[in-house]
Amino acid sequence: MINVLIVFIVIVFFAQVVRVLEIGNLVSKTKNEVSDGSNNINGIFLLIAGVGLVIFFFWQRAEWMDQTLPIAASEHGPVIDQLWDVTMGLIIFVFLLLTPILFGVAYYFRGREDRKASYITHNNKLEFFWTAIPAVILLVLISYGLNVWGKIVNQDIKDAIIIEVYAKQFGWTARYSGEDNKLGNANVRFVGGKNELGVISEATKNSQIASIDEKIAKLKNQISISSNPAEKKLKNQRIEKLIKKKKTLTTYYVTTSQDQLLAAEDDIITKELHLPVGKKVLFKFRSQDVIHSAYLPHFRVQMNCVPGTTTQFAFTPTITTDAMKKEVENDLFEYVLLCNKICGNAHYNMQMKVVVETEEEFNKWIEEQSVNKISNL
């Protein structure tokens, strides 16, 4: 905070100095002319600004370098970091090359009474080079980035553990694919009661149809004892909507195969993510309401969660939570799943604990979650 305040004071100081010089120049001059002295002062200030910009770059790099990227904890993490280093290295090189040139040229060619500016309409060679060189550099960077991305997303996921990550304002829910490693179908229309993910299974089918029948019976009973015509009309409208919903659900269940219904029975719903170290996991992302962005910084994973569609990302965690605690020398360290899109006024609550553990610990944890199976809803 103090550093930011110092930078702000310096900027304000230079701005006030420039204003004083401008006022002094207007008072001392009877014509709209700028003296060599004013040009020299402006040139010096510009040179100081250029030097200050370079110094500030090195200072903030030394101050905040350790805040850029955390330690990579996935197989593809070092590849992403290499792409980052190449891109940032090129940006820094261009900055350190052009900043002295820009400010130096502005100082060297400052206005003087004995100097007359040359009038140059264009320079084909110069324009060719300053267009072609950036274009080639960008083409190389884009090709490099696409190559890295292609290798990451086109992995072999045949034996990956399938986990659904479900986003809604303002929290995350995980669904593990169970013993068959197959996720059952889900649809937002089936969200309700304990079925917060809208999973389609025999268990959810029976409970939801029963819940609708119960609501209809309750409304009919209220109508039979009510003497208010307006209230009766309103409740009849609600009954019609419930009947329509029941018909829609029933139709959907009829068109869903028995295998698909059974696939969801052993799915496990949790509020915490556990991952086995050294094992590939395939995340399938869904959203109930708005676009969220699942972000796991240590694993170099980010993927949008879009309502109405499913996105996915596969990776292999390489460092357990306990090992990372020792690496960063912090016993309170935890991996975390964040939302990297501002999704509403409680966006900051979009956090979920992630535990990376040995395969034995992971299997034991999965067994303990059997009470959270879809079949028990």
Mean pLDDT over 160-179 rounds to 92
DSSP 34: -
pLDDT of residue 30: 47
- φ, ψ for residue 215 (rounded to 5)? -65, -40
Mean pLDDT over 369-375 rounds to 76
Q: Give the pLDDT band of residue 183 (cuts 50, 70, 90).
A: confident
Q: Give the pLDDT band of residue 325 (cuts 50, 70, 90).
A: very high
Q: Give the pLDDT band of residue 41 (cuts 50, 70, 90).
A: confident
The answer on pLDDT for 224 being more than 80 is yes
pLDDT of residue 206: 76
Higher-pLDDT residue of 78, 193: 78
Half-sphere exposure (CA, 13 Å, Cβ side) for 286? 19
The answer on pLDDT for 204 being more than 60 is yes
Count of C-beta atoms within a 10 Å radius of residue 181: 14
| Pair type for strands 292-296 and 335-339 | antiparallel
Q: Give the pLDDT band of residue 168 (cuts 50, 70, 90).
A: very high
Higher-pLDDT residue of 355, 21: 355
The answer on pLDDT for 270 being more than 80 is yes
**What percentage of the chain exceeds 90 in pLDDT?**
44
d(CA 186, CA 193): 15
pLDDT of residue 175: 93
Query: At what angle are helices 77-108 and 124-153 packed, to 10 degrees?
Result: 160
- Least confident among 182-186, 238-242, 350-354: 182-186
**What percentage of the chain exceeds 70 in pLDDT?**
90
d(CA 348, CA 338): 9
pLDDT of residue 290: 93
pLDDT of residue 28: 56
Q: Give the pLDDT band of residue 274 (cuts 50, 70, 90).
A: very high
Q: Give the pLDDT band of residue 34 (cuts 50, 70, 90).
A: low
Listed residue (314, 370, 349) closest to 154, CA to CA: 314
Structural domain boundaries in the chain: 2-112, 180-263, 268-376
CATH superfamily, domain at 268-376: Cupredoxins -  blue copper proteins (2.60.40.420)
Q: Give the pLDDT band of residue 61 (cuts 50, 70, 90).
A: confident
- Per-residue pLDDT of 62-109, as tens digits, reads 888 777 889 999 999 999 999 999 999 999 999 999 999 988 888 888
- Per-residue pLDDT of 229-254, as tens digits, reads 888 889 889 999 988 888 887 877 77
Listed residue (103, 114, 113, 101) closest to 42, CA to CA: 103
d(CA 18, CA 15): 5
CA angle 351–356–362, rounded 5-degree value: 115
Higher-pLDDT residue of 363, 110: 363
d(CA 357, CA 187): 31
Contact 272, 171 (CB under 8 A): no
